[in-house]
Structure 1
């Protein structure tokens, strides 16, 4: 019978306290918006991260395919087929489907609450690491702080259904197994370490870099501090086998074989050969390739990419527009890791002191290094430094408490009470700014209920093979709610993919319609080609060019710009194989300038064009004779002149849009000066002013979404609501 020691009971008790605290903090958002209808659909909370919808789509399709229906395969084919990009093989989707199968809760509830409970598991390895360091109180404090620190909370809150819910939990378990392996030299931790790497890679395929960093640091630790310890070389070898860039079951076979060999003393003399074999296997399977690819993507970034082959087309890179991959101010960097700048520096000092007192914690440097990469590589990385810096502040709190007690003459019972009180007060001081952040962090759901109702209705009209065109930000939710295909989404949005979508949204209706039919049909054609010639493409490393390049060549051009110039005319289009819809949400006004970047470029040389003029104002002030649209922008209500600082110009036209009681859109167009290039649109029901140049005014997005001026030969309205306009392409 298993009996728990006092220390184990204390460890378990601390884990339960920290876990309950972490869960409770994540329920604050739920309490705040429990009765807010726009965040609910069909009586259920919606999630608040775009990427979550891709995993939800995969889980939905998995559940359809594993139905107890006798025609399960037929049912599965109905919901998942080639080209729909549903991630049915992804870990997040598979784990979700498993939970839906075994738990008595709805699908929507499970994806909404999964981050709450899975992310809170991070407290377990934190407290177990502290146990190895003989300081459980440090572990409890660190677990409390890490579980609610800004960046960790932001990416694991209720509704933030994404891989981040385990992306720190698993590397912290890896750190725990490594620490215990190095400290105890027990064989079981060799297996734990390797299995953790396998699970981590299964859950998050981009884990290569962190795993490799751990390997490198263990190697350095061994060579500097423990060179003669053969156990460390066993640890390195089994890690290398687990890290190879090949199928997970193959890696598992190598891991189990290595573990069996390491359990046999007769194989000890072959340890270095096994280590060498593991390193060869790692590099031979291309283990370092994805690490280098990640470095190039996040650190060595270019704003424009070139194919370098074929026509050598140039495209705008998406990494320049992703906020989480952008540079951040130091204050933001510090706040996201520790709650505020002062706490950050104290935590860093405490961490350095911890490294001095506990040399084994050097093994945590990869997490700190990756977290600090956020300062140059993007805010998403701060999350990795959170638990380790939490150890720093927690260690200082326990050390200060110990030293304070030694300075005062108290008895044992009183000593414990004073020590507990001091640690509690200091911990609450550290937790407070993080709690205030949670209280104020009222992030909305991805879409509101009205937008989702449109998608739900669209899903009943459109076929599964039909395409819905919108910006990539909305791709995953569109696929989930409408069960259709999209050209771009959160995983498929490189410059070559975004160019045609941007082109459609920001050019005339004729150009957009032609490009839509071309891009959809060429996308399907490319899918078919890649399926039929998959082996040849892989074996001969053949280049699969962008749709734009294939279009350009097929229409007899060698210059892509020349080809694009013909799209304003009648061109012979590919045979129509499916319907195409445009999903145009009002919310896209916020990112319209970003959308223009991807098609406002010379494809042949990469030179960026002059940015179209677009300005949206919602916080305007009526000053009587003028309207202040921004600090230095004014509109004279009588003369309809715009003043930009010291410059005054007449506008081309003034347009006012408004909805009547039956929610029909009306517009009043007042021509002013047709030689001007700037128009003003007042969307009265939205309380929004738009200032746009003539190119933007004539763009598909402004004409169809804002003004509902659609070319009846090219488009027909499907659903027209204040939140979203949906049109069907007729050609």
Structure 2
């Protein structure tokens, strides 16, 4: 067997080993929770990311061959289509496929990393880097079993793109023109937000071509075909153009027209809005405003969701470093290694866009750390093998030097892998919903029509739609301030206002769909004038101030004709985020100023001292006086309420009025071992009254399912 074949076999063998290692490590979660029946539904593990239910809904509808009118099912999205194809081909259940798919696709990251290093003649570096990158904290978190989301390939594809660009510049072989263009198209198809990274790659190659290699026509061919692939046009059109351009470049007589091709590509890129998405992403994650202002005839102000999304918030440096490399020291060493590697192999500077996006996490949120993982893994691995080569030179005895080198490589490799492995063992993330919650939603599916709506906070929108096959007003993608506002209002205001706004919001949402369907041009023109339902309702009911309209919801306003049922889904798990939910409607929509900060305190850390109840955080209840001590303040308590369940799971409530003029009320939820301390507005909110107290107004609501984990009510108006 010749040397070339041996090298190929070695390369394939290392890739297979690294892939099996990556996939096997992800089975630790399965081993840990195999006996947890609460994580399974119908005998199958459920997924552990909310967004995954979005793609699952699309794939399910594609397999079923149907969608409901005006639904938000992503039947045209890449993740749903790929899942649909896999489910058609493989003999596994749909639930098994979406559960294990992230572990399989995410492990593909080892391929481009090893290929990059192999081309630079340092395959050992690539092998260790592949092992580290595949289990690095942030990468594992977003590609573990059950994390069914676009992150399955969101880093794999740009790393393949990095590989093809490196080989294109190093070999100047024209096949890499087509490979690069196809990768860009595939990346955009899979992840439409890929513009920024693609453009960064383009900018680096443009700088290299202009500064170091202006006479080489190949560089400008590469830039040209990249621009054509990056245009803001449908994938099919870009694919046909790219193939045509590649074929043209194969003809020697067309060489003289490369500059015309480049000019045309640049013009089409700009004309098709190539730069617009880049600015949109920067505005979304970097230049984010706390308050959004709608562009309506009646301008309204809404609270921005990006202020409450954890993965879009700033993080500290230690967290940043640990998520990328597992440990701060490993991360710092990776930067040193990357600099040294770039010094020896300048082409590796093409990894700067990935590294730069990773650093954006310090401002834009922890979700960006995942991008820096492949580059940093290569950096620390290169540094380790550079040191090992230096160690060998210190020994006169070659055999002894080889033993010391091998020992150093093995121990150092284990040292950089260990923190990440430890994280994986300890990272016992639960499924999105437990078995009992899903059984309740499955029962609701049998009651609700596919055109009915379920009112719930956006965190639960996707799984609710997947398990009930009904509609929602907000979800993980549709959660801008203007659509979050009415749902927040429904959950945090009294039942009468909540009921009327729920009926209005649903009917106005459906009306907007019909208008768009009947006359698309007219709909676009109207959208420029009125873009959110709250503004439209205000004007339709004869008000010029939206706050006046919202106040009028407490009066018997005439309601639109009922076209479908509306259900309120109120889960226990929303209790911990209820103050955040309240933020979205706790503002003057006309001015954008926060109205007041409602008081809501939840704790299961308390101590009964006999005469007092210590709730921690400086809150102490004087039982005899019925006052809450908050610092130097003595605040009278209005109600003290205790809720519980009998052995037959019957809900029991004991309510005592302490002071008729009390400011706060205290609720002890015995079944959850939790105390709530609330002001008047929070106490009277629809969520607290319906879920915590089961105190529903029979004029507006009727109970459908009253379980400890979640309660479902049907709107009667």
Per the normalisation by structure 2, the TM-score is: 0.98
Q: Paired residue for 1:437, among 406, 411, 423?
A: 423
For 2:365, the equivalent position in structure 1 comes to 378
Residue 312 of structure 1 is aligned with which of 299, 302, 305? 299
Query: Which aligned pairs between 1:619-638 and structure 2 lie closer than 5 A?
Result: 619-638=605-624
Shift of 1:664: 1.2
2:634 match:
648
Counterpart-to-counterpart distance in 2, 1:661 and 1:220: 73
Moved more, 295-304 or 541-550: 541-550
Deviation of residue 536 (structure 1)?
Answer: 4.7
Distance 2:69 2:371 in 1: 36
* Residue 648 (structure 1) shift: 2.5
- The aligned residue for residue 601 of structure 2 is 615
Give the deviation of 1:11 after TM superposition: 1.1
Instruction: Note the C-alpha offset of 1:221.
Output: 1.4
1:413-448: CA deviation from partner (whole Å, max 9, x where unpaired): x65554333211101100111111111111111111
Q: Contact 1:536 / 1:542 at 8 angstroms: preserved in 2?
A: no
Q: CA offset at residue 692 of structure 1?
A: 0.4
CA contact (8 A) 2:515 2:523 kept: no
Deviations 1:286-345 (A, max 9, x none): 111111111111111100011133111111111111111011111111111111211111
1:27 aligned to 2:34?
no
Given candidates 385, 392, 410, the residue that maps to 1:405 is: 392
CA displacement at 1:14 relative to structure 2: 1.2
Structure 1 distance, partners of 2:402, 2:230, is: 46
**Alpha-carbon spacing, 1:430–1:278, altered in 2? closer, same or farther (3 Å):** same
1:677 alignment partner, one of 638, 651, 663: 663
How far apart, in 1, do the equivalents of 2:403 and 2:107 lie?
A: 28
Q: Displacement of 1:641 after TM fit? A: 2.5
Alpha-carbon separation, structure 2, partners of 1:718 and 1:273? 67
Give the whole-Å Cα distance in 2 for the aligned partners of 1:397 and 1:128: 19
- Return the alpha-carbon distance in structure 2 between the equivalents of residues 220 and 466 of structure 1: 55
538-547 vs 147-156, greater mean Cα deviation: 538-547
Q: Distance in 2 between matches of 1:409 and 1:541?
A: 79
Distance 1:198 1:543, change over 3 A: farther
Q: Counterparts of 1:590-601 in structure 2 under 5 Å?
A: 590-601=576-587
Counterpart among 317, 342, 350 of residue 330 in structure 1 = 317
Give how far 1:21 is off.
Answer: 1.1
After superposition, where does 1:71-82 map in structure 2 within 5 Å? Answer: 76=66, 80-82=67-69
Give the aligned partner of residue 68 of structure 1.
Answer: none
Task: List aligned pairs for 1:100-179, cutoff 5 A.
Answer: 100-179=87-166
Q: Is 2:359 aligned against 1:353?
A: no
**What's 1:85 paired with?**
72
- Can you give the 5+ residue segments of structure 1 that lack an aligned partner in the other structure? 66-75
Deviation at 1:24, TM superposition (A): 1.3
Alpha-carbon distance in 2 for matches of 1:460, 1:406: 73
How many angstroms does 1:544 deviate by?
4.7
Question: Which ranges of structure 2 fall in alignment gaps of 5 or more residues?
Answer: none
Q: 1:234-265: per-residue Cα shift (whole Å, max 9, x none)?
A: 00100000000011111011101110111111
What is the correspondence of 1:276-291 to structure 2 with a 5 Å cutoff?
Answer: 276-291=263-278
Query: Normalised by the size of structure 1, how large is the TM-score?
Result: 0.96
Aligned-residue RMSD, C-alpha: 1.5
Q: Report if aligned partners of 1:537, 1:543 keep a CA contact under 8 Å in 2.
A: no
What is the Cα deviation at residue 116 of structure 1? 0.4
Q: Does the CA-based 8 Å contact 2:636-2:663 persist in structure 1?
A: no
3-state SS in 2 of match to 1:728? strand
Q: Is the 8 A contact 1:513 1:729 kept in 2?
A: yes
Give the secondary structure class of the aligned counterpart of 1:216. Answer: helix
For these two proteins, the number of residue pairs brought into alignment is: 717
Q: Which residue of structure 2 lines up, in the alignment, with residue 224 of structure 1?
A: 211
Whole-angstrom distance in 2 between the partners of 1:536 and 1:5? 65
Q: Map residues 226-625 of structure 1 onto 2, 5 A cutoff.
A: 226-411=213-398, 416-537=402-523, 542-625=528-611
Is contact 2:198-2:230 (8 Å) kept?
yes
Distance 1:137 1:54 in 2: 40
Q: Quote the offset at 1:560 in angstroms.
A: 0.7
Change (3 A) 1:676 1:247: same
Q: What corresponds to 1:730 in structure 2?
A: 716
